[in-house]
Amino acid sequence: MGFPVYSQGNPLTVIGPWSGDEMDAFLPVLKAFEEETGIKVEFLTYRAEDLVTLLPAQFTAESTLGDLIFMQSWFIQDQAKKGHVMEISAVIAEDDFIPGSLDGLKVDGKLYGVAYTGKVKPGFWFRKSFFEKNQLTIPNNWEDFQALLEKMKGIEGISAPIASGNGVGWPLSDITEHFIVAFGGTELFQNLLNHSIHWNDPKVKEIFTDKLAALLKENYFGEPSEWTMVLEKWWNGDYGLFFMGSWITGMVDDPSDLGVFSLPGTQGLVFAPDYLFIPTYTQDSENAKKLLSFLAIQGQELQVQQGGHLATYLNVPIEAYPEVDRNVAQLLEGKMALPDLDDTIGGEFQSKFWDQLKLLWVKPDQVDDVLDTLEAVFE
């Protein structure tokens, strides 16, 4: 793979994971920075799973692919400990951000990154028009949920009640995390996060066996396919429900037709900010700091206007959000905001988690093997 040649005088380079509609929603933010400052910016798309191997090699050579890079918090913290990330404690005021949203970016009390806008993963999305047409209602308990799925199976044209997005694996892990929180509670979720409970613990096995695998065995989930293709099929009525993050509101033709519900009893929702940092090896640190500050403050208000994002900057007015996103923000009320489990643990666990869930989706009777494999990562 060839890399862009970096030399002083080049535009600032921002690296992030977005392409397609998501990139189109981000580029106006960079354009606004260019117009305000006269500093040119270019955007390059790299997936986090590629950057996790590319960046350490670059940093070892005291070089960098970009001036600002969106990456997972565990990676930023790890690279900061090795001296590859610029400290930005003086660039922003921590009190202006959602409490706790910057904690994963600190080393020895110093700040090494910023939480940009975030996406909440609230639950199962549905089209209001689809529910009205088929006289479906939002479930109030687990039995209602099962009955809803069974009724959907009988609707003409439905491939499966729940669409299964795939790709590298995160759509399946998002669903699984929601089940863990709903039926294990926020404490068990946190215990898995810090590995104070084993993945093959009976409590975890019960959730996988009695809830998630039970639905898979009943063919309530569709066959995993690339998630943007599945999204289109779900929107066209091939599926009744689609578990996805709040960014979906910026990816459908009519966001006003969107409804969403969490699994009944859920007390916590995963809230996943997009984190960014400045590598130590940027050749334009002052302008890089200006862009980081802009993205953290003004940029967030511009981003939420595009739909599908929630701000971590507390001073973004509620009026800046499209109506459907205001409703998503309300789902968080009274619930604990939780970090994304596999993004936070990262490393070998993340890829193993994704692979094992792909296996579970086709062989739901292998819960024991899946959980033993996940636990073995920590041995």
Q: Say if residues 209 and 154 touch (Cβ distance below 8 Å).
A: no
pLDDT tens digits, one per residue of 310-366 = 888 989 988 898 887 887 777 776 777 788 899 888 889 999 999 999 999 999 999
Task: Kindly report the number of other CB atoms within 10 A of residue 317's CB atom.
Answer: 9
Residues in the chain: 379
Task: Output the pLDDT for position 349.
Answer: 93
pLDDT tens digits, one per residue of 172-226 = 999 999 999 999 999 999 999 989 999 999 999 999 999 999 999 999 999 999 9
pLDDT tops 60 at residue 1: no
pLDDT tops 70 at residue 8: no
Give the right CATH number for 12-119+273-334 from 3.40.190.10, 3.40.1710.10, 3.40.250.10, 3.40.50.1110: 3.40.190.10
Average pLDDT (109-133) is: 94
Give exposure, 261-290, as e/b (b: 16+ Cβ within 10 Å).
bbbeebebbbbbbbbbbbbbbbebeebbbb
- Give percent helix, percent strand, percent coil of the chain, each to the nearest 5: 50, 20, 35
pLDDT tops 60 at residue 105: yes
> What is the rounded CA–CA span in Å between residue 323 and residue 320?
9
Domain with CATH 3.40.190.10 in the chain: 12-119+273-334, 121-270+340-378
Q: Tokens in use for 266?
A: 């859920």
> What is the rounded CA–CA span in Å between residue 294 and residue 142?
45
Task: Output the pLDDT for position 9.
Answer: 61
pLDDT tens digits, one per residue of 266-305 = 988 898 889 999 999 999 999 999 999 999 999 999 999 8
pLDDT tops 80 at residue 7: no
Task: Output the pLDDT for position 149.
Answer: 98
> Which residues touch 35 (CB under 8 Å, ≥6 apart)?
none
E strand intervals along 239-299:
239-244, 258-261, 268-277
Nearest Cα residue to 346 out of 79, 165, 15: 79
Task: Kindly report the number of other CB atoms within 10 A of residue 239's CB atom.
Answer: 23
Q: Which helix (H) or strand (E) element contains residue 359?
A: helix 347-362
CATH topology for the 121-270+340-378 domain? D-Maltodextrin-Binding Protein; domain 2 (3.40.190)
pLDDT tens digits, one per residue of 55-101 = 999 999 999 999 999 998 889 999 999 999 999 999 999 999 887 77
The two beta strands, 336-338 and 268-277, are parallel
> What is the rounded CA–CA span in Å between residue 235 and residue 54?
36
Nearest Cα residue to 379 out of 349, 337, 346, 338: 349
